[in-house]
Amino acid sequence: MGFFKKKAPAPTRDAAAQWRINRTRRQSFAPAYFAKQAFLFIGLTILVFFVDIALYIVFQFAIYNNHDYDGSPTSTTFEVTDNLSATEDESGATVYKLPYNTASWLDQQNAWAMLVGNDGEVLWSHNAPPEIANHTYTQNDIANAARTFYLENYPTFFGTNRDDGTVIVGYPIDEYVAFPINYMGNRELVAMVVLGVVLIYLDALIFFMVYSLSRRRMLKAITPAVEALDDLAHGVPTHMEMKGPLADIAESVNAASAIIQHKDEARKRWVSGVSHDVRTPLAISMGHAERIANATNAPAEVRKSGEVIVRQNERIRDLVEDLNIVSKLEYDSQPMNIETIQVVPFARGIVADYLNTGIDVQYDLEFFDTPTVQECAIQGDERLLRRAVRNLIDNAMRHNGEGCKIALSLDVEPSNMLALTVADNGRGCDTSRIGALMAQASTPDASYDAHGLGLTLVSRISIMHGGYVSFASEPKRGFTATMRIPIAMRQNDPPQAE
């Protein structure tokens, strides 16, 4: 008989979250949504249509004005038809005469004209090619030319019928191109192609502008959501007020922020409660352990056990205090008491405290400084900075139980930063662990390893003072931790003008 592990059920959403999801899905498929998009598309299409029509009208107006200036083929044909006059000479023969202005107009356009009588004979011509003028036309020839707009490959235009025949105006072979309904000049044809390119470019530009505006509006709308999500990623409570399609996102972000804030408050209360509940029994335990360690009538082995219990209780006390401080710093509930701190007396005082309270004989604590650091001061919370330095010294002692030399040194770096270094010559750690230690010290939710909570607290305090912490180590060559804090002033600096 086979067995299998039952898969854990996925976490279920609460009713409010599921309602928001369902509402968003309904809205995305609602007729109103599609109607709105359809209206936007129709409006954009109408806009493009009217822009194109307006540009086409402007183009036609320009062409019309150009024809009025140069003489369009149609107007020229009508002009010749209307102004060609017939008179009889002394012998009674019919003589045709075209006014000078109309003839000059034909010459300017390199055009020719002729009058074909009802019997097909050419009664009159002006600049007509010989193969055109010296020809007799049938009714079929005239009808075919009127239909195809070509006469012997010459583009031709026909005037209104006269009693004595039909006026035909022709142009050079390469001057005009016949369209199904009319002639268009080569210049007009090029202009139409240019107009088509301009219309395509303009339409594409309109669509691009609409797309850009729509994208900009979308980015502007989602920017608050991105900022809010970034705040949530950093554990900062946030609140959004949004309308329209993104209102559901705002509600979800606000709900997530409320949940995170509630959990943070619960964790803060839990840490505070644990710290408070541990202090009393820990104090009682330390009191009894100190009494046993100091009892002169107790066996040496019992007193030694009492000393071990005292040291372990002190570690628990320090751990609880670090946990409480980290929690307060994480939730910005730890007020900073900023003051000017002279770094040399500050560091010497920490070393003196260790030496005065007595440290185990296997540890050798020393202090070093440089002449330049004697004049330096920093701005910060002395209590927090003292806690950070003590954590570094305690860390060196804790991980070198067999004993080591510990050096607390101060130096000024070229970047105007105070370098406060705690170094030991103990067992150290592998270089591959330095990156993990840096990540642990700078990440609030990192899991604590052998170096524990102390380095996280050191990093947080350094960052709060505008600095940072770095580590260096090699196996069996000790461990070095350096806090870098901006220098606020030096004693020989000139006073700043107010």
- Taking only the tens place, the pLDDT of each residue in 58-109 is 776 666 555 444 467 777 888 888 888 888 877 878 888 988 888 888 888 8
Query: Is 485 found in the same domain as 339?
Result: yes
- 434 vs 440: CA distance, rounded Å: 10
**Given the structure tokens 């964790």, which residue do they identify?**
267
Query: Is 433 found in the same domain as 312?
Result: no
In 249-348 the beta strands, taken as DSSP E runs, fall at: 338-342
Beta-ladder partners of 341: 378
- Taking only the tens place, the pLDDT of each residue in 384-414 is 898 889 889 988 988 888 889 999 999 999 8
| Residue 300 in domain | yes
**Where among 115, 144, 178 does a domain terminate?**
178
| Residue 52 in domain | no
Q: How many angstroms separate the Cα of 118 from the Cα of each of 79, 131, 328, 362, 396?
A: 20, 19, 113, 137, 125
pLDDT exceeds cutoff 70 at 33: no
| Residue 495 in domain | no
Mean pLDDT across the stretch 319-348?
A: 76
Residue 14: pLDDT band (50, 70, 90) is low
Give the total number of structural domains in the chain.
Answer: 3
360: domain CATH number?
3.30.565.10
Task: Tell me if 418 sits within 8 A of 429, measured CB to CB.
Answer: no
- Looking only at Cα atoms, what is the longest distance across the chain? 170
- Cβ neighbours of residue 330 under 8 Å, at least 6 residues apart? 235, 444, 460
List the structure tokens of 230.
Answer: 């970034």
Lowest mean pLDDT among 430-439, 471-480, 489-498: 489-498
| Residue 186 in domain | no
Q: How many angstroms separate the Cα of 325 from the Cα of each of 198, 277, 329, 456?
A: 70, 16, 6, 11
- Taking only the tens place, the pLDDT of each residue in 282-313 is 778 878 778 887 787 878 888 788 877 877 77
Query: Is 313 found in the same domain as 397?
Result: no
Q: Mean pLDDT: which of 121-125, 210-214, 307-311, 354-358 is highest?
A: 121-125
Query: Is 166 found in the same domain as 89?
Result: yes
- 485 vs 335: CA distance, rounded Å: 19
| Residue 212 in domain | no
Q: What is the pLDDT of residue 11?
A: 44
Residue 177: pLDDT band (50, 70, 90) is low
Query: Is 380 found in the same domain as 320?
Result: no
- 67 vs 288: CA distance, rounded Å: 117
| Residue 371 in domain | yes
Query: Is 341 found in the same domain as 288?
Result: no
SS3 76: helix
Query: Is 449 found in the same domain as 380?
Result: yes
- The more confidently predicted of residues 69 and 46 is 46
Q: What is the pLDDT of residue 32?
A: 55
Task: Supply the range of the domain harboring residue 401.
Answer: 335-490
CA dihedral 115, 118, 120, 125 (to 10 degrees): -10
Q: What is the pLDDT of residue 35?
A: 66
Q: How many angstroms separate the Cα of 419 from the Cα of each of 233, 372, 391?
A: 32, 12, 16
Q: What does the mean pLDDT of the chain come to?
A: 77
| Residue 396 in domain | yes
Query: Is 381 found in the same domain as 305?
Result: no
- Count the alpha carbons within 13 Å of 189 in the hemisphere toward its beta carbon: 11
| Residue 305 in domain | yes
Query: Is 313 found in the same domain as 421?
Result: no
Mean pLDDT across the stretch 276-287?
A: 76
Q: What is the pLDDT of residue 486?
A: 93
pLDDT exceeds cutoff 60 at 258: yes
pLDDT exceeds cutoff 70 at 162: yes
Query: Is 470 found in the same domain as 339?
Result: yes
